[in-house]
Amino acid sequence: MQEDNFETIAIRLQAERTHFKEHSVPLYLTSSYKFDDSEEMRALFANEKDGNVYSRYANPNTSELIEKMAALEGAEAGWATATGMAAIFTTFATFLGNGDHVLSSRSVFGSTHQLLNNIFPKWGIGYTYADLDKPEQWINGIHENTKMIFVETPSNPGIDIIDLEWLAKLAKEHNLLLVVDNCFATPYLQQPIKLGADISIHSATKFIDGQGRTLGGIILGTAALMKDIEGFARHSGPAMSPFNAWLLSKSLETLAVRMDRHCENAMKVAEFLEGRNKIKKVMYPFLPSHPQYDIARKQMRQGGGIITFVIEGGVEAAAAFMDKLQMFSISANLGDTRSIATHPATSTHSKLTEEQRLEVGIEQGSIRLSIGLEHIDDILKDLEQALS
Ligand SMILES: *Cc1c(COP(=O)(O)O)cnc(C)c1O
């Protein structure tokens, strides 16, 4: 492939055509593959030859999706998993063992929090949390047994940002793996590996599918690191189904145009909200009032589709606002064509204590919006009437 523009790769990188000369890649529903002879079978199992053996390992649809995601993000290789959490679990389980320690951003996806707090300690893996806006916590959080730095930027739902080039330098100095959950940005808006990260992880469930239909996860990195991932994943079985890979690869064909519109709409909503008097605070990476605005401008193409704002009047005001929305869906998901509103304190982050919530920037009146692809006038009209 000689074209290397994002949109062109997203559309033109395709699995090889079959003798039917199909224009759009078909779905390969097959659990296993046939060998020409016993010698081919032996060579494939001995890794002396490339080819499909069994769909827990690889399938033409998952291979196409992985190759495309790697090309879009500037990674050498990748692996596809059933969900975003399976991608995060697989990455932790591959590179961490008894006695190891992870330095993670405090504000991580709820289930990632559960993995670090309640699941990995059973296997002797410890953690320390650091705040994205406090560099000294990252420097001081590295222990002798630290193996990995894990970070989500922009964070969920606080929309804080960290300088990935700075963090990659810190990780290199201490010989640590830098793993970035790049779900909010997608490869179109942010490419952590080009900024020095070792591994980039996506929940493809969000903007990559973009239509709220399916679950999926992707891990991207160097060929050597992905060999290690493969060594764990082939045998532990978190594989993505061929159907989901087929769907997600087609979704990537429209990622750039969808993200452009998500970002354009979100920027207008952020500006609209910032001017209102019942609103205490609006967090959106490309609003000049964002505390890490300069970093956002440096490492992101645009601000993304997610906005978090704080309404005056706490839980009651937040609930009243949510209940008045007519078009926005109340849902915990994000990255859909449909605009969505969530109240993190009583949903995604209800398991945290009030103090823990404040530490990750969630107030009682915080509302997270995932701005969809409806007409901007209708999005603003719904927000306007719900606020009035
Ligand atoms: C949704 C999400 C995940 C988990 O993805 P699933 O596909 O739901 O397993 C991980 N990280 C972030 C930032 C997410 O938003």
CATH architecture of 256-387: Alpha-Beta Complex (3.90)
Tokens 């059933």 -> residue:
82
- What local confidence, expressed as pLDDT, does residue 121 receive? 97
**What's phi and psi for 242, nearest 5 deg?**
-55, -35
203 lines ligand 1 (CB under 6 A): yes
Task: Give the global pTM.
Answer: 0.96
Q: What average pLDDT does range 326-338 have in this prediction? A: 96
Tell me, in angstroms, the distance from the centre of ligand 1 to residue 183's CA.
7
Judged by average pLDDT, the poorest of 172-181, 356-365, 373-382 is 356-365
pLDDT tens per residue, range 148-160 = 999 999 998 899 9
User: CATH assignment of 6-252?
Assistant: 3.40.640.10
Among 303, 300, 299, 278, which Cα is nearest to 289's? 303
218 lines ligand 1 (CB under 6 A): no
Residues paired with 105 in a beta bridge: 130
Distance CA 68, CA 368 (A): 30
Could you give the angle at which helices 255-274 and 376-387 cross, rounded to 10 degrees?
A: 30
Tell me, in angstroms, the distance from the centre of ligand 1 to residue 262's CA.
18
248 lines ligand 1 (CB under 6 A): no
Per-domain residue ranges for the chain?
Answer: 6-252, 256-387
Dihedral Cα 339, 344, 346, 352, nearest 10 deg: 160
- What local confidence, expressed as pLDDT, does residue 1 receive? 44
Distance CA 156, CA 368 (A): 9
Calculate what percentage of the chain has a pLDDT beyond 90.
Answer: 91
Q: Do domains 6-252 and 256-387 have the same CATH topology?
A: no
Strands (E), the chain: 77-81, 101-105, 126-130, 146-152, 177-181, 199-203, 217-221, 279-283, 306-311, 329-330, 340-342, 366-370
Q: Please, are residues 134 and 162 in contact by the beta-carbon 8 Å criterion? A: no
pLDDT tens per residue, range 67-123 = 999 999 999 999 999 999 999 999 999 999 999 999 999 989 989 999 999 999 999
pLDDT at 313 over 70: yes
- What local confidence, expressed as pLDDT, does residue 3 receive? 56
